[in-house]
Amino acid sequence: MTYFDTLARSYVDVDTSKGVDTEQFLEATEGLVKLFDLLGSAAFSVVQNDMNGNIKKIRERYLSNPTANNTLEELMKNESPEKKRVATEGLLWLTSLDNPTEELNASFTKSYEQTLRKHHSIVIRPVFGLAMKACPYRKDFYEKIGVLDEDGLAQMRAWLEALENIISIIQNVFKANPAYIKGM
């Protein structure tokens, strides 16, 4: 059994036909947060807390009007006229991934440097740096998540492709609507 078999919802199962379904995205992202438990280091708790905080921001906005915020695109559009775009900011941070083919510590570090670092205090930055150093090598990571054969590899690739597709959709919305993230 792989990590992907344990998920309540996989990114593969997130409906993107009319926009990225907000509730399904949040469920899948909660599963992603649990992935850090498998890395075996308490250093990732700060990363998990940050991600959970961003999930909470999006969920609160979604729950304020589930019909109007049923897709991430609608949620961002509805929040855009507001001075503080809390859920949009959370989504920006959650979808700031870099090259998934690099070693994990390099990819995570690069993503952190390009996105979140400027928002963290001098006290928090070293904690994230420690977490990045605690990343296992890709080969060891695959073992921890149960990807031991071609079936597991295919399952992981499908999950990753679905995640990358969602990230691409959201990043394209940000590119097409720079006002959504202005000042963040």
Structure confidence at residue 103 (pLDDT): 53
Structure confidence at residue 99 (pLDDT): 45
158 to each of 10, 118, 127, how far by Cα in Å? 9, 32, 32
Share of the chain above pLDDT 90, in %: 55
Structure confidence at residue 1 (pLDDT): 92
Listed range (45-49, 101-105, 146-150) with the worst mean pLDDT: 101-105
Residue 111's pLDDT band (cuts 50, 70, 90) = low
Residue 100's pLDDT band (cuts 50, 70, 90) = very low
Structure confidence at residue 118 (pLDDT): 65
If we measure between CA atoms, which residue out of 177, 160, 159 comes closest to residue 73? 177
Q: Count CB-CB contacts under 10 A for residue 87.
A: 25
User: Region 117-122: what's the mean pLDDT?
Assistant: 65
Residue 117's pLDDT band (cuts 50, 70, 90) = low
Residue 183's pLDDT band (cuts 50, 70, 90) = confident
Average pLDDT value for the chain:
84
Residues near 49 by Cβ (< 8 Å), separated by ≥ 6? none
Structure confidence at residue 98 (pLDDT): 46
Question: CATH code for 19-179?
Answer: 1.10.3520.10
Residue 113's pLDDT band (cuts 50, 70, 90) = low
Listed range (20-24, 25-29, 50-54, 55-59) with the worst mean pLDDT: 50-54
Measured between alpha carbons, how far is 134 from 156 in angstroms, rounded to an integer?
22
